Amino acid sequence: MTRVTPGPVRSRPRVGPEVALRALGHQTSTALEHLRDYEGIALIDLDETLYLRNSTEDFLDSVRPRVLGLLALRLLDVLRPWRFTGGEATRDVWRVRLLVALFPWTLLVWRRRVPGLARDHVNLPLWKALVERRDPAAIVTVGFRFIVTPLARALGVGSLPIVASRISSFADRRRGKLAMAIAALGEGTVAGALVITDSMSDAPLLERCGRPLHVVWPGARYVPAFSGTYLPGQYVSRVKRPGERYIFRAILQEDFAFWVLASVGLARQPVLHVVGVALLLLSFWAIYERGYVDNDLVASRYEQDPKLSEAFRTTPVATPVLQPWIWALGAGAAAVLVLGWPGPFSVTRFGAWTGVLVATTLWFRLYNRFDKSTRAWLYLPLRVARSAAFVTLVAVSLIGAVALAAHSLTRWVHYCIYRLGRSDWPKLQAELMRLCFFLVLATLVAVANGIAAVATWTGLALLAWNLFRARSEILQQLRAASRIDA
């Protein structure tokens, strides 16, 4: 890291860690007085301090087109390569590198945006106190130098020394702000400095400096990149079911897997069939997710004890009304085209699918506005739609229909126990229950229509998938079983 020479520093008595931590929590007016009067170098944090937003997130939000940038970051969140470079501290290095590599014009967009961002989000009282100081000062931030340098110029403090992270290395983010400041300014300078920061992650720096000031500024906001950009699946994964990997576990491994297994055996072009079914899933979930948004909004407004995740209040996610329909109709039209290939586009089939989406929306709105006990019965059509809406356009085998019915019934029974039992979500062996439903219904079909109706490759694939999904619950039940007459 390039060493920064801050100029003469008047020595100050060093404050020990215990005093430093007690000094945290200064009011903003007190912090400004200390900054004006302190006879020594002042080290000022940038993000959410001098600049009332996060420079890295605002830079990432400069990517155009936004949807592609958001998709790239979501893929990166799935892969989590920072696990191998120092953990969460290096996450932003990966995020910035990836988007600069994919969208290099972002650098130009950022330089055009910086003057407006600096004007709108400068911490004016702190800025005035800083520029009026006679003693030296420096900007110390874990933000990236190539991002914060034009921002500092736009803020009118570009002449100050800047200590910032390098995008070419993971080391700065791993070591933290204290090590960066010592490497750039010297240990003696840091020991005699006044430090103003909003972040408790800077506690090591606050403990080692001459006068620590921890200040949370009015108007400071952490706004994640692309928080105003809509993408299907964002709400369910980040707000409705945060931390549950819901899209992968509940939508892809359950709904999508059964959609494909129940129908692919009848497809003339299996690869195109899977692609078409995936597009139908995207189309359906763009609308079904909007039902979740409505559900939470109604609960927050009308219910006395709404069951809302903490992310509902803390995680900004775009929830527009029109854009889900654009995604749903666009993906639905593409699905109709792919599933009917090489034939012409069927307006009739597209109209039927649109009818399913409209009916799902209306029923979800009806469901959201009834009391919780009544919802147990209104949920069944929603569950059937989620499990089998695709049969509007796709043929399924008889045993496939049995599997879809077993899937729907299992999730509905689970929900009924939750609602009518007046308790939190129960620990139900849902996978084992679905296997049992499947076996019972398949046996009835075999009795009524002959063994050939179920003894097919599709039937074997569905049985294998149900067994695989229920494997841990089967073993758990076998271990727990005991004879009461022994």
Residue found under tokens 């999508």: 256
What pLDDT does 27 receive? 74
What pLDDT does 7 receive? 36
Residues 307-322: what's their mean pLDDT? 90
Closest CA to 232 of 293, 275, 296: 293
Query: Which pLDDT tens digit goes with each residue over 188-203?
Result: 999 999 999 998 899 9
Residue 243 — very low, low, confident or very high, per pLDDT cuts 50/70/90?
A: confident
Query: Which pLDDT tens digit goes with each residue over 256-273?
Result: 999 999 999 999 999 999
What pLDDT does 376 receive? 92
**How many C-beta atoms lie closer than 10 Å to residue 9's C-beta?**
20
**Span of 11-15, 167-171, 345-349, 408-412 with lowest mean pLDDT:** 11-15
What pLDDT does 427 receive? 72
* Percent of the chain topping pLDDT 70: 93
Residues 393-417: what's their mean pLDDT? 94
Query: Which pLDDT tens digit goes with each residue over 37-75?
Result: 999 999 999 999 999 999 999 999 999 999 999 999 999
What pLDDT does 316 receive? 87
Residue 142 · residue 177 · CB < 8 Å: yes
pTM: 0.82
What pLDDT does 289 receive? 97
Query: Which pLDDT tens digit goes with each residue over 1-44?
Result: 333 433 333 333 333 333 343 344 447 888 899 999 999 999 99
Residues 174-179: what's their mean pLDDT? 94
What pLDDT does 424 receive? 65
Residues 143-163: what's their mean pLDDT? 95
Residue 319 · residue 425 · CB < 8 Å: no
Residue 423 — very low, low, confident or very high, per pLDDT cuts 50/70/90?
A: low
- Average pLDDT for the chain: 91
* Percent of the chain topping pLDDT 90: 81
* 299 pLDDT above the threshold of 60: yes
What pLDDT does 422 receive? 60
* 400 pLDDT above the threshold of 60: yes
Residues 361-389: what's their mean pLDDT? 95
